[in-house]
Structure 1
Amino acid sequence: MDVAIMLEPAKHSKEYDRWLFFFFIALLIWIPLPLASNKLWASSLLCMVSFSLTAWWLTLFSLNRVEISESLKKSLPIILLLSFAPLWAFAQSLLSSEYLGASIDRSSSLHDAALGVSFILIFCLTLLLASSKSRLKVLAYSLIFSGLFQAVYGSMMSLTGIEYSFFVPKEAYTNLATGTFINRNHLAGYLVLTLSVGIGIMISSLNTSSVSGWRAHSRRLLATLLGPKARLRVMLIIMVAGLVMTHSRMGNTAFFASLAITGVLALILGKHSTRSTIMLISSLIVIDIFVMGTFFGVDKVADRLQNTSEASETRDEVNTYTLDAIQDNLWVGSGAGTYYTNFPQYREYDAGRGFYDHAHNDYFEFASDYGVIVTGCLIAAVLLVFISALRALKSRKNTLMRGLAFSAAMAVIALAIHSTVDFNLQIPANAATFMVILALGQISLYQKNRKVKS
């Protein structure tokens, strides 16, 4: 049995980066609050803080107070692939010839370049700072509590009729849960990401040993009902209720589909999967749909799915015209962050009267802005993390590492599904949280168990 505890090496037992880690956690909790950081001032603050935290770590590194983690070393190919996007965005803001990929809105491309660098830094900081079992749990529970707050806040605003987002009255999606986000679909995306982390932690806490006798079973049942696992399960139920109350069709579909797919993969790959894992995944699907949904409107989500038609939706037309835009700048793109400027010259009347600042498809928007080469690099980076998570599910014995691997795999599948009809990765809060979870996927495979030398 893998019983080694993951702690810092003896020479770093003073944890010189402890306060840096807590500031990093504070940043992750803050990012979703100011309208998902989807305003210029909020995204600029995100860039400034992430750059500052990185400079702090580099200062500690120059003083030999911290060291580069094995997880980061193993993730260098992924970091390289991710880096192509901000580097190309920066190049687009400088180039002058349209044949070389010059941006049609250089200020937007430069802003997206800075934001892209900040996301990569968040990925790296997660790999560097989440260096022990205790820190990984603090990080995971911070994301869970953030998701819980969004679910409770969004639900209460919807149920009470006193609807504010972030200190401002809601202008859209009234009577629906949006939390501190503007768009209900993006709250749904954020809740799915944090639910993925919560479910992974829940799985890591399951008993892997078998017991015999009614007394032993009774003790385990009481521990489950009254212990930390019960509290975590209640939090997950509340978050699912908040997800349902967004009435996001693809958000709910992506959650349950990714949970089922990842559950099957975990059972197939995992040599250490137990009956408890099967029961947990089954209860999440059955109880959350048929019990919580009865009270919080899963029937309305189903109605929206059934009533969706080509006549009532313009996303198909938008995607068609976006493909035209992609073909005209196939390899180099029109410039990072320029979709809202580029799309109007391609749209026709059947795309509706609405203004589209984003494509309702992350794959198409990245291809339109960056070109297919850079988009392919980003997809490859995510696929590499997904493979790492599957490898961890198959080979790791440590329950926490297996739980984190489950979280990463589920988040990748969920966002891959949701991105076909929405633009979660254009929202800083969701993109940053996704980068953290990708880093957890790498940690689940490469972070080793180490004992402190006495």
Structure 2
Amino acid sequence: MMIRFEKVSFILLLVLVVWLPIPLASNRVWAWSLAEILVSVQTLCLALSYFSKERDLPFSRLKRFSWLLIPLVMFQIWNGVQIVPFELATLAKISPFSAEVYQLAGAVRGAISLDVHASTTSWVKGITYSLFAFNAVVLIHTPNRLKAVALAIVLSGTLQAFYGAMTVLLGLKTSLIFNFKESGIATGSFVYKNHLANYLMMSLAIGSGLIIAQLHISPSGSWNERLRRWSDGVVSRKMFVRLALVIMVIALVMTRSRMGNAAFFAATTLGGLVALMFFKDKPRAFVPLIVSLILVDTLVVGTVFGLDKVKDRLEQTSVLKETRDEVVEWSLPIIEQYPLTGTGIGSFYSIFPSYTQFNIGYYDHAHNDYIQFAVEAGIPATILLGFMWLWAVVLTIRAMKHRNSKTLRGLALGCFIALIGMLMHISVDFNLQAPANAMTFVLILVMAGCTQSIKITRR
């Protein structure tokens, strides 16, 4: 019975992977509330599975993920501290400018956060992300489960890509479900094209890792063996994943996202170079696969489905027309005033208007997640999150270099590409502010750790 609860919890993990992008990237109150409920149910099922005396919580596995879980928990603790009301005299010692704002408002007490309601909402989201990471760490303990999660990500990305591309190709004026206006650009169910592009980038990276994990290491030896492998490959899971990648590349190009496309192809190129240096027992078809992803998909698929329009957008980008640079520039004084404490997680849209120098329209996010986290959480907390990313990159390189399992090596490369792509993309957009993207990225961090920590049992 207890084992059954654990299996239900893992199934919920797979369901969440596919579900999260569907309701507008879970970026509406009702949608992220539903995600929070699902994660709570998943956590409850997992807890029930360990009530039996025969099952002990896998502390050794949790210890191997301390690099991820401890920073996540510490970040949530800090977010909780940001909404605690203090006497103004005490607050002045912690965050002088926050105390000054509350004093000007005539308040007797005040919090570090300048928007307690928004910070509370974001704090609950953060707790959900942390529970999701904890559950994934406990649940993904075999190569087969790791592969199942990777396939779920690829399936979800393919569904989003197909829906987004077909909406454009059919010339629909409004979306099929939520009746949002369509403008000839692929958005899937994300509404914002760059969020879809970012999600596809992560899905493509994991899909690439899956294909590499299935490539043969040994030489074919003879034409008979070569033909047999080719025929097996046509009807294998590898071919279906390859077709899924083609569909996702088509949709990625059709998002017209400049950095989304640039981040994927740059990260794939860098991933290929790193793999050539560190990959243990490189598959014979490794280089052709990377070349096909970068060149064939770009030139053939891109030419047919509009890579030239992405190029035109890059060429037409004007410093005079782009206002996101001003957002970053005007956010720097906020960081200077609140370097250690931040203004409160989720408070950017409330605090930023008072720092604008002229009208550039409404910005509820910084369009640069590094800047936004530094503004809202402070520099130390932002560095803490950066440590998780850095350690995950190190673990993927170690896995590529030392693991004997093809599955673990291949998915380590896929996670590496996703990590590098995200590093690039969030420098010009707010992808980590969409719950679907944020939770998928947290899951990829867990997967990166799994490629190094999962033990292979020999039969």
TM-score over 0.5 (shorter chain)? yes
Q: Distance in 1 between matches of 2:371 and 2:278?
A: 32
2:128 aligns with 118
Which residue number in structure 1 is paired with residue 71 of structure 2?
81
1:179 corresponds to which letter in structure 2? G
Q: 269-278 or 176-185, which moves further after superposition?
A: 269-278
Match of 2:222? Answer: 213
Partner Cα separation in structure 1 for residue 173 and residue 288 of structure 2 = 37
Structure 2 CA distance for partners of 1:166 and 1:131, relative to 1, 3 Å: farther
- Residue in structure 2 matched with residue 236 of structure 1 by the alignment: 245
**Structure 2 unaligned runs (5+)?**
96-111
Superposition pairs of residues 391-410 of structure 1, within 5 angstroms: 391-410=398-417
Q: Report 1:37-52 matches (<5 A).
A: 37-52=26-41
Alignment of 1:286-305 (within 5 A): 286-305=295-314
| 8 Å Cα contact 1:34/1:166 also seen in 2 | no
Matching of residues 94-109 of structure 1 within 5 Å: 94-96=84-86, 97=88, 98-99=91-92, 100-101=94-95, 102-109=112-119
> Partner letter of residue 22 of structure 1?
I
User: What is the match of residue 367 of structure 1?
Assistant: 374
The 2-side partners of 1:228 and 1:69 are apart by 35
Structure 1 runs, 4 residues or longer, greater than 3 Å off:
64-67, 95-99, 163-166
How far the C-alpha of 1:123 sits from its partner, in A, is: 1.4
Are 2:320 and 1:311 aligned? yes
Quick check: 1:33 aligned with 2:29? no
- Distance in 1 (alpha carbons) for counterparts of 2:441 and 2:176: 22
- Distance, in Å, in 2 between the alignment partners of 1:69 and 1:264 is 36
Which deviations, in whole Å up to 9, do the C-alpha atoms of 1:128-169 show, x marking residues without a partner? Answer: 112223222221111111000000001111111224447222
Aligned residues: 438
Task: Give 2:12's aligned residue.
Answer: 23
Paired AA for residue 122 in structure 1: F
Q: Which moved more, 1:85-94 or 1:431-440?
A: 85-94
2:209, 2:44 → 1: CA distance? 31
SS class of match (1:94) = coil
Contact 2:8/2:45, CA 8 A, preserved across alignment? no
Tell me how large the CA RMSD over aligned residues is: 1.8
Q: Which residue of 2 aligns with 1:156?
A: 166
CA distance in 2, matches of 1:163, 1:224: 40
Could you tell me which of 173, 177, 180 is aligned with 1:167?
177
- Which residue pairs with 1:379 in the alignment? 386
> Matches of 1:327 and 1:276 in 2, distance apart?
51
Residue aligning to 2:98: none
Aligned partner of 1:68 in structure 2 is: 58
Q: Contact 1:16/1:66 (CA < 8 Å) preserved in 2?
A: no
How far has the Cα of 1:227 moved from its partner? 2.4
Task: State whether residues 69 and 127 of structure 1, in contact with CA within 8 Å, keep that contact through their aligned partners in structure 2.
Answer: no
Matches of residues 200-279 of structure 1 in structure 2 within 5 Å?
200-279=209-288
User: Larger relative contact order (C-alpha < 8 A, sep ≥ 6)?
Assistant: 1
CA distance in 1: counterparts of 2:8 and 2:31, whole angstroms: 23
In structure 2, C-alpha distance between the alignment counterparts of 1:164 and 1:433, rounded to whole Å: 27
Letter in 2 for 1:448: K
Task: Give the conservation status (yes or no) of the 8 Å contact 1:166–1:180.
Answer: no
What is residue 445 of structure 1 aligned with on the other side? 452
Contact 1:69 1:131 in 2 (8 A): no
Q: CA deviation at 1:451?
A: 4.8
Identity in percent: 36
SS in 1 for 2:385: helix
Does the 8 A contact of 2:207 with 2:245 survive in 1? yes
- 2: CA distance, partners of 1:442 / 1:372: 25
Report how far residue 42 of structure 1 moved: 1.2
Matches of 1:55 and 1:199, distance apart in 2:
34
Shift in alpha-carbon separation, 1:166–1:382, aligned structure 2, 3 A: farther
TM-score, with length taken from structure 2: 0.92
Match of 2:426 among 419, 424, 434: 419
Task: Give the distance between the partners of 2:173 and 2:282, measured in 1 at CA.
Answer: 44
